[in-house]
Amino acid sequence: MQPRQRILESAFILFHKQGYNSTGINQIIAESNVAKASFYQHFKSKEDLCVEFLNKRHTYWFEQLKIFTSKDGTSKTKILASFDFLIYMNEIENFRGCSFLNILSEIPADNTKILNVIQSHKNDLRQYFKTLVVDSQLADHIYLLFESAIIESQLFKDQWAITKSKTIINALIN
C-alpha cells in the first residue's frame, strides 16, 4: 500500500475510534509507518486529512447503506431496512455513532472546511429519504428520526431508539 493510502487507512480507523481531537498527527504517522515529510507531502494539515477521511467515510457509508437496502423492493421496505442498517453498523462498530456528528462536536464553529463536508453528508442522507418518499415533510420526519436514533443508540449503547423509530416509521408509511 502506498504512503497516502496507509495514512488514510490509519486516519479512518483512529478518527473513527478515538475521535478527531484525541488523534494526533504523530500517532497517525506512527500507525501508518510513514515519515513526517511523507505525511506533509500528501496532506497540508490534520484538517485536510480530516476532510479526506470524511469524504472516504461518506463513500463507504453510502455504499454499505445501498448494498444493505438493495434487497428490498418497495420504498417502505428500503426505509425500514435503512434502520436495520443502523443496527448492523452499531454491531460492527460497537455503537461508535456517526463519525460526522462526532467530529462536528470536536471542531470549532468557524471551521467551515470540515463543516461543509459534514453538511454535505447530512444533506445527501436527507435527499436519500426524499427519493424514497414523495411527501417531503414525511421524508424529513424519517430523516430526523433516523438521525436521533443514531445519537440515542450511541448514548445508551443500545438499539432501542432504532427499533422504536422503525416502529414509528412503519406506522407512518402506508
Q: What percent of the chain has pLDDT over 70?
A: 99
Please give the Cα distance from 95 to 76 (Å, whole number). 25
Q: What is the DSSP letter of 109?
A: T
How does pLDDT run across 98-128, given as a tens digit for each residue? 999 999 999 999 999 999 999 999 999 999 9
pLDDT at 174: 76
Q: What is the residue range of 16's domain?
A: 1-43
Q: What percent of the chain has pLDDT over 90?
A: 95
- N-terminal to C-terminal alpha carbon distance within the chain: 49
How does pLDDT run across 70-92, given as a tens digit for each residue? 986 899 999 999 999 999 999 99
Instruction: Write out the three cell numbers for 40.
Output: 506533509
CATH number at residue 128: 1.10.357.10
Residues 32, 89, single domain; the answer is no
Give me the chain's average pLDDT, please: 96
- Which residues, in sequence order, are CB contacts of 50 under 8 Å at separation 6+? 11, 15, 20, 103, 114
pLDDT at 71: 84
pLDDT at 17: 87
Residues 24, 64, single domain; the answer is no
Please give the Cα distance from 52 to 117 (Å, whole number). 9
Q: Model's pTM, two decimal places?
A: 0.93
What's the whole-number mean pLDDT along residues 11-36? 95
Q: Cell 457509508 maps to which residue? A: 61
pLDDT at 72: 65
Residues 33, 2, single domain; the answer is yes
What's the whole-number mean pLDDT along residues 40-48? 96
Residues 92, 6, single domain; the answer is no
